[in-house]
Structure 1
C-alpha cells in the first residue's frame, strides 16, 4: 500500500475561503501555513470587513458539512424562507423560495430532505469559527499581519512582509493557494505572467449600510429577505442573531448626491421607503448620510486561468469576485474548497494535475455565476414587481411541481442545488426556448381557431 504523500501548502488569505480551505487541507493531513495580512479578528477590538451578514445556501452548506461545521454554523444562523417585497404604500408581498413543496425530496438537489431556505449568518462570527476550526488541526498554522509582496513562480516561493516588524522573508511550498479576496495580491502577481487574462468591472451603483436596532427588530416580519424594489435602485434587509437587521441601500452614484443635506435625506426616504423610517428612525438616517463620505463600490472580476505553473492557484473572490445580488460570492468560494479537495482525492494528491483540472473546469462555471449575479440585480430592483415576472415564476413553479427532476427554476438550481453554474445558465436558456416554442404554438392555435370561427360566421351570413 502506497503511503499517503504529505504536502506543504501555503494559503494566502485567512478570510472566509482561506480559513475553510485550511480545514480541508488540514483534514487531508497536509502541512498548511495560512498567511493573513490583517490582525487576528478573534482578538481585534474592531473587526474589519464590509458586511455584517451573508447568505448561506446549499453550496456553502455542503462544503461546511464536509469538514463537520455545518450544524455549528446553522445553530447561530437565521433561516430566510423567501423574499418579502415592500411597495411604496408599505404593503408587503411574500415570495417563498419554494412555493411547491415544504421540503426538498428530489435527487436533483444532492442533499438529504431539508427545508428550502437560505441562512443569514454573521461574517465575523463565521470567520472566527472557521479560524478556530482550522487551528484545531495540529498540521495547520495561522500567521497574522503577514503581507504577500512578491513571488517567484519558477522556484515556487513567496516573499512575505511582517507588518509588525517590517521584516521580509521567503517561504517555499508545493502548493500555493491565493484566497486573498477581490483585490488579491497573488492574482496581481499572476497577471504579470504571459497568457493570463484579467478584467474587472465596477457597476455604476454603490451601497450604504444601515441598521434596525434590536429594540425595533420585532417591527419587521421575521425569517425573510426583505426587499424594497424601486426600479433604478433597491434596499434589502437581512436579520442578525441579536434581533437587529442590516439594511443595505444599493443605488446609482449620482442619486446618492441628493442625500447630502438633512432635507434631501428626509425627503428621499419619505418618498421612496416610507415604511422603513419607523424601523431605522429618521434621525439615525440623517446621522448616517450626513457623515457619509462616499458609498462603497461593487466590482466584478473575471480572469483566466486560475493557475500559473504547476503549483500556484487562486480561489474564491481572488478568482471570481462578483456583485452580491445572488448571494453566491461566499457560497461559490466555499464550493471552490470542496471541489479542490475532491480533485485532490480523485487524483491521488497530484498537485500539478489538480491545479490544471481545477482551473480548466471552474473558470467558465465561475464566470457564469458572475454574469448571473449581475442579472439578479435587475430582477431584485425592478423585475420582481412586473406582471411578466410573476407569470413566468408561476409557470416555472407549475412545471417544477409536475417535473421536479426535469424542470428546475433558475434560482432553485443556483441556490438550492450543486448543479454546475454554467449548467444552470444553459438550463435556463433551454427553458426559455421551450417556453417560447409553447407560446408560439399557443398563438398559432389561437390564430387558427379565430380564423376558423370567422370563416364559419362568414359562411353563416
Structure 2
C-alpha cells in the first residue's frame, strides 16, 4: 500500500458517529477520505432518526477522550447537560437519587445525537478536507481490490470507488460486514431483544424551566416496563419507553394513545403528567428494535475493516454504544501509527486489542438491562450499590465499582470486569467472615449467660 503520507485513500461507508469521527482521524493521518452515506446530510436539519433510534446519548470518559483527541470537546461542551446520577421514580410514587460516583468528575453528559453527528461531519469536512457523499447505498464490495459499488437512492445511478482502506461504519445491519464475510470463514452472532422502544418527550414547564430535576438520568422501573429519560439543553427531556414486543403490557397490546394513557396510569404514577402529548406521540412514533452483534473477523484482505455497531452493536442499557465506537476510532488510529506501511498488521492489531473487550461489553449491557428493569426496585441490590460507593470513598484507589470503571475510566472493559469480580469475591469473603464471627460471638455470649445463672 502507499504510505499515508504518500496519499493513501480511504472510503468509509456510514456517516454516523463513528464513521464521521474516524474520517477526521484518518485525514489527519494523511489519508484522502471519502465517506458514503445512504441517508441525507445530518446538517440539513431533517429527521435523521426515522428508524426509531434514540436521539439522546450519554457521553462518558471513553467518548470524552476521543472527542478531546479530535479537538472537538470544547465545541460540543455547550450542547451537553451533566447527568450526576440516576433519579429513580419508584412504582409507588416515591423518588430516590443514586449518584454515579463519588468524585465530581464521575458524571455523564447528555447530548443529542443529531447535534453530535452534525458537528462531527462539519469538522471532518471543513477542518480535515474529507468529502461526504450522501444518498448513496453500498451494493457490493471486492475486499481484494478495495472496490465499492454504490447506488444512488434517488437516481438509481451506479458508481464504483476503489480505496486503499475501506471502512464499514454502517451500523448493526452493516452491508460492508455482509459483503466482507461473503465466501469467507466468518462468525456472526446477532440477537434481538424481545423488548422494543418508543421515543416520548417531556417538554419544559409552561412557565419555563424543567418539569423535573434536569441534571440526572430519570428512570421509571416497573413490572415488564421501563422508561429512561435524558435531559436536553432547552430543559426538556427525551424519554424512551421500553416494553416487550408481545404479550401482556406489550407494544402489540397497547395499540392506541388511549391505551397508553391507561397503561401509564397503572404502571408509571406521575409520569403521564410530565408528558402532555403522550397519546399523540405514542401513536405517531415508531417502535425501535434492540439488537446485539458479535462477529469475527473484523477485517479482510489487509484493507477492509469494521468499526462501531458494524462489529459490536450492544443493547443501550450501559450507555456505552457510542463511547465504545469512539474508542474504536482512537485505537484504530493508534494501530495505524504503530504499523506504518503495513495496513494488514494494523487492522489485525486493532481487532486483537478491541474484540475481547467489546464482547465483555455486550455481556454487561445485557446484564444491565435486568438491573435497570428489576434491580432498581430491589432493596438488596440498591444496598449493594450503596456499599460499593461507601467502599470507594474509604478506599478510592483500591476499590472501584464496576460502573465507575466502565463509565468513568478508559480501563479496558475486560480488565474492569475481572477487577470487579475480584472485589465481589473479597466482599463475599468478608461478609461470610463477619457473619461467622457474629455467630460465634452469639454462641459465646449464650454460653457465658448460662454459666452465670
Interval containing the TM-score (normalised by the shorter chain): over 0.9
Q: Mark the runs of 5 or more structure 1 residues left unpaired by the alignment.
A: 103-114
Compute the TM-score of the two structures, normalised by the length of structure 2.
0.93
Contact 1:26 1:137 in 2 (8 A): no
User: 2:112 & 2:282 partners in 1: Cα distance?
Assistant: 24
Of the three residues 215, 227, 236, the one matched with 1:223 is: 215
Q: What does residue 239 of structure 2 align with?
A: 247
Relative distance call for 1:301 and 1:269 in structure 2 (3 A) is same
Check if 1:425 corresponds to 2:417: yes
Aligned length: 444
Q: What does residue 51 of structure 1 align with?
A: 54
Q: What do you get for the CA RMSD once the two structures are aligned?
A: 2.0
What secondary structure is seen at the aligned counterpart in 1 of 2:255? Answer: coil
Of the three residues 267, 271, 277, the one matched with 1:276 is: 271
Q: What does residue 112 of structure 1 align with?
A: none
Q: What does residue 195 of structure 1 align with?
A: 185
What secondary structure is seen at the aligned counterpart in 1 of 2:42? Answer: coil
Q: What does residue 432 of structure 2 align with?
A: 440
Of the three residues 287, 294, 298, the one matched with 2:280 is: 287
Give 1:454 shift: 3.1
Give 1:147 shift: 1.3
Give 1:291 shift: 4.8
Q: Mark the runs of 5 or more structure 2 residues left unpaired by the alignment.
A: none
Contact 1:191 1:198 in 2 (8 A): no
Relative distance call for 1:440 and 1:315 in structure 2 (3 A) is same
Relative distance call for 1:3 and 1:221 in structure 2 (3 A) is closer
Name the stretch that deviates more: 210-219 or 439-448. 210-219
Q: What does residue 124 of structure 1 align with?
A: 114
Give 1:277 shift: 1.8
Of the three residues 380, 395, 411, the one matched with 1:388 is: 380
Relative distance call for 1:262 and 1:30 in structure 2 (3 A) is closer
Relative distance call for 1:173 and 1:267 in structure 2 (3 A) is same
Contact 1:56 1:118 in 2 (8 A): yes
Name the stretch that deviates more: 223-232 or 3-12. 3-12
Relative distance call for 1:289 and 1:76 in structure 2 (3 A) is closer
User: 1:3 & 1:60 partners in 2: Cα distance?
Assistant: 25
Contact 1:31 1:140 in 2 (8 A): yes
Check if 1:356 corresponds to 2:357: no
Contact 1:229 1:385 in 2 (8 A): yes
Contact 2:392 2:399 in 1 (8 A): yes
- Note the 1:33-44 alignment, pairs <5 A: 33-43=34-44
Compute the TM-score of the two structures, normalised by the length of structure 1.
0.91
Name the stretch that deviates more: 3-12 or 138-147. 3-12
What secondary structure is seen at the aligned counterpart in 2 of 1:204? Answer: strand
Give 1:274 shift: 2.3
What secondary structure is seen at the aligned counterpart in 2 of 1:135? Answer: helix
Relative distance call for 1:370 and 1:260 in structure 2 (3 A) is same
Contact 2:5 2:29 in 1 (8 A): no
- Note the 1:13-412 alignment, pairs <5 A: 13-43=14-44, 45-49=46-50, 50-98=53-101, 100-102=102-104, 115-137=105-127, 139-216=129-206, 218-253=210-245, 254=247, 255=249, 256-261=251-256, 263-281=258-276, 284-291=277-284, 295-348=287-340, 350-412=342-404
